[in-house]
Copies of this chain bind each other. A is one copy, B any other.
Amino acid sequence: MTIPFFDRRNMNFVLNELLDVEQLTRYNYYQEHSQETFDAIIEVAEQIAREYFYPHNAESDKNEPVIVDGRVKIIPEVKEAIQVFAEAGFFAGHHSEELGGIQLPWVVNQACLSIFQAANIATSGYPFLTIAAANLIEAFGSEELKSRYLPPMLDGRCFGTMALTEPQAGSSLSDITTTAESTPEGHYLLRGNKMFISGGEHELSENIVHLVLARIKGAPAGVKGISLFLVPRYHVNPDGSLGEHNDVALSGLLHKMGYRGTTSTALNFGENGRCVSYLIGEPHKGLAYMFQMMNEARIGVGMGAAMLGYAGYLYSLDYARTRPQGRLPGNKDPQSKQVMLVDHADVRRMLLQQKAYVEGAYALGLYAAWLVDQQKISPDEQVRRDCGLLLDILTPIVKAWPSKYCLKANYQAIQILGGYGYTREYPVEQYYRDNRLNPIHEGTNGIQAIDLLGRKVSLFNAAAFKLLIREIAETVKQGSEEASLKDWSRELHQALQVVEETTEELLEVQEQVGMEAYLANASLYLEILGHLVMAWMWLRQAVVASRQIESASASNRSFYMGKLQACGYFFRWELPKIQYQSRILRDMDRTCLDMKDEWF
């Protein structure tokens, strides 16, 4: 039996029918590509994911990394899988040909990566961080750093990490205390402790490059005094060969409830005063550089959350279709044949909810990746600027919404399996544990909410917000032209107005009430804008389905009917809640703000 964890039909729908990614090949940079090359690459990704990533997913959860003789020991299947991944060129795929890449559009790359995430979120963590770290070095590193460190990263011989968090400073990066001292040789000596560093130590690759936030001695306090450093685990000689071990020491492993195969480490930099590190870009601008990697990682987290939700959905769907249980209400004959779980309306509710969450999140994630391409490649400056703005405002949603709602999807997958669902003999409980990390790492969802309402919404005179509203209004227009979508289009229009008015009112009173009160209910704002965006994604999908369904084959017709029904579910069962949530926001509700510590 092939265990389902990934749905190619829906990926094709999003890439080809919703986003029309083939259009990207009109741009010079992507001109060597075609629908056929995209399909062939995706095919390879799926095959590797199925053969090398999926099979050890449960195994690496059961046997998490341990320290043996001072080294991190990881089950061998992980290394093997990543080697195959590297040999297929997925570390470098989206890079330029000069760098050894094949100039694959980021959206196609993201689609490929999503298959690995669905197959094995923990193993895919290593190459993902490496890809993001390489992107950062490429963007901001000096030519020397690039020539020395990029090639092995793009080959998959050297992995990357991001080292931000310190034991005392999680969300508050302003308070990191790792220091860097310049030396006459031009490099810096780092000293400090970092923790929650994914992939911080292992023997999967010949080297590791840590991208570390630290303060140069004498730097201004706060985030304006943070610089970014490249710290290799092993020194790299000018000829590329490896030198001595740098002064970076593993001080411990964290034991997580999920993502167990991705080793999470506490690292000591410069215990012996010899941690050689290299400044990336200019001093004190490290946080801005790091945000490129963080934004990429945030989209990656959202996609990962979507894929974990997706894998659970497909598994529980398969289970519901093949497990007989009980009879339909009203049938009092105990000798009649049992029906399948999927025949119960309440089970279909749990499946529809999952479908609405995971396919919505999936569409949003790939749309964001498509925006990355447009922002980078479009010859039209206005398009580049607009796509950048949309990415700005959508990133917190792409990260937070799937990590909250696709975890809810995993909850329902367990529920459908009943008692079996909570046993470790079935994969859905692992998905649920894995996914529980996503609302936290790469910036908690509370931080995303503050980023959204505190920064992104008002940025450039609310330019990104207004642009998003216009984009959604365009979909409303398209939807209202489809006879079957008139009602939902009207509802999306109304929801749009509610969110717009709520936002305007909030922005108006911001100065008057002060930042603390303005941001007090930011998480609720993230909820309403998130649901609006997700309803938009669903109406966009419904428009495509509605246009295609008349002339579709029987199997495609079923697929499109599923899209329409899931869209209906989202509009009827989910979207209405923004009404009461926006009322709380517009009332500037002070329930949480006014709560006193001593009253708890």
Residues of A that sit less than 8 Å from B by CB = 165, 168-172, 174-175, 195-196, 221-224, 254-258, 317, 321, 324-330, 333-335, 338, 340, 342-352, 355, 411, 414-415, 418-419, 421-425, 429, 432-433, 436-437, 439-441, 444-446, 449-450, 454, 514-516, 518-523, 558-559, 561-562, 565, 568-569, 572-573, 576-577, 579-580, 583-584, 589, 591-600
| In the complex, chain B residues whose CB is within 8 Å of the CB of A343 | 597
B423-A439 in contact (CB<8A): no
Q: What are 19 A-B interface contacts by the 8 Å CB criterion?
A: A170-B325, A174-B327, A175-B334, A221-B334, A255-B425, A328-B515, A329-B454, A330-B514, A330-B515, A342-B597, A345-B521, A346-B520, A346-B523, A349-B520, A415-B440, A433-B433, A558-B596, A562-B599, A565-B591
| In the complex, chain B residues whose CB is within 8 Å of the CB of A568 | 591
Residue of B nearest to A325 (CB): B172
Residue of B nearest to A167 (CB): B420
Question: Bound state CA distance, A422 and B422, in angstroms?
Answer: 18
| In the complex, chain B residues whose CB is within 8 Å of the CB of A221 | 334-335
B589-A423 in contact (CB<8A): no
A558-B599 in contact (CB<8A): yes
Residue of B nearest to A404 (CB): B411
Question: Bound state CA distance, A559 and B600, in angstroms?
Answer: 7
| In the complex, chain B residues whose CB is within 8 Å of the CB of A569 | 591-592
B254-A598 in contact (CB<8A): no
A329 CB contact (under 8 Å) in B334, B342, B515: B515
Given contacts A329-B518, A436-B432, contact A584 B572 (CB under 8 A): yes
| In the complex, chain B residues whose CB is within 8 Å of the CB of A592 | 345-346, 348-349, 352, 569
| In the complex, chain B residues whose CB is within 8 Å of the CB of A321 | 597
- Residue of A334, A414, A589 with highest tally of chain B CB at under 10 A: A334
| In the complex, chain B residues whose CB is within 8 Å of the CB of A325 | 169-172
| In the complex, chain B residues whose CB is within 8 Å of the CB of A580 | 576-577, 579-580
CB distance from A514 to the nearest CB of B (A): 6
A591-B352 in contact (CB<8A): yes
B415-A446 in contact (CB<8A): yes
Given contacts A326-B171, A346-B446, A580-B577, contact A422 B223 (CB under 8 A): no
A330-B516 in contact (CB<8A): yes
Residue of B nearest to A421 (CB): B440
Question: Bound state CA distance, A342 and B573, in angstroms?
Answer: 33
CB distance from A485 to the nearest CB of B (A): 15
Question: Bound state CA distance, A168 and B424, in angstroms?
Answer: 19
Given contacts A355-B600, A440-B419, contact A223 B334 (CB under 8 A): yes
B345-A516 in contact (CB<8A): yes
Question: Bound state CA distance, A566 and B514, in angstroms?
Answer: 24
Residue of B nearest to A345 (CB): B520
| In the complex, chain B residues whose CB is within 8 Å of the CB of A445 | 415
B433-A257 in contact (CB<8A): yes
Given contacts A328-B516, A415-B440, contact A349 B565 (CB under 8 A): no
| In the complex, chain B residues whose CB is within 8 Å of the CB of A579 | 580
Question: Bound state CA distance, A516 and B593, in angstroms?
Answer: 45
| In the complex, chain B residues whose CB is within 8 Å of the CB of A340 | 597
B591-A572 in contact (CB<8A): yes
| In the complex, chain B residues whose CB is within 8 Å of the CB of A433 | 257, 433
| In the complex, chain B residues whose CB is within 8 Å of the CB of A329 | 450, 454, 515-516, 518-519
Question: Bound state CA distance, A508 and B498, in angstroms?
Answer: 35
| In the complex, chain B residues whose CB is within 8 Å of the CB of A421 | 440
| In the complex, chain B residues whose CB is within 8 Å of the CB of A437 | 422
A419-B196 in contact (CB<8A): yes
- Residue of A169, A329, A440, A441 with highest tally of chain B CB at under 10 A: A329
A257 CB contact (under 8 Å) in B424, B454, B558: B424
| In the complex, chain B residues whose CB is within 8 Å of the CB of A355 | 600
| In the complex, chain B residues whose CB is within 8 Å of the CB of A454 | 329
A593-B348 in contact (CB<8A): yes
CB distance from A371 to the nearest CB of B (A): 28
Question: Bound state CA distance, A439 and B412, in angstroms?
Answer: 10
* Additional pairs, 12, CB under 8 Å, beyond known A172-B327, A418-B444: A168-B324, A175-B334, A196-B419, A222-B334, A317-B600, A329-B515, A340-B597, A346-B522, A415-B440, A565-B595, A576-B580, A577-B577
Given contacts A329-B516, A436-B422, A444-B415, contact A572 B596 (CB under 8 A): no
Given contacts A346-B449, A445-B415, A600-B351, contact A573 B584 (CB under 8 A): yes
| In the complex, chain B residues whose CB is within 8 Å of the CB of A589 | 572-573
A-B pairs with the 10 shortest C-beta distances?
Answer: A222-B334, A330-B515, A172-B326, A562-B599, A576-B580, A345-B520, A329-B515, A349-B592, A221-B334, A257-B429
| In the complex, chain B residues whose CB is within 8 Å of the CB of A224 | 334
A352 CB contact (under 8 Å) in B439, B444, B595: B595
A436-B414 in contact (CB<8A): yes
Question: Bound state CA distance, A333 and B175, in angstroms?
Answer: 11
B598-A558 in contact (CB<8A): yes
A599-B449 in contact (CB<8A): no
CB distance from A173 to the nearest CB of B (A): 9
Question: Bound state CA distance, A583 and B423, in angstroms?
Answer: 37
| In the complex, chain B residues whose CB is within 8 Å of the CB of A593 | 345, 348
| In the complex, chain B residues whose CB is within 8 Å of the CB of A599 | 558-559, 561-562, 565
CB distance from A402 to the nearest CB of B (A): 15
| In the complex, chain B residues whose CB is within 8 Å of the CB of A350 | 446
| In the complex, chain B residues whose CB is within 8 Å of the CB of A172 | 325-327, 338
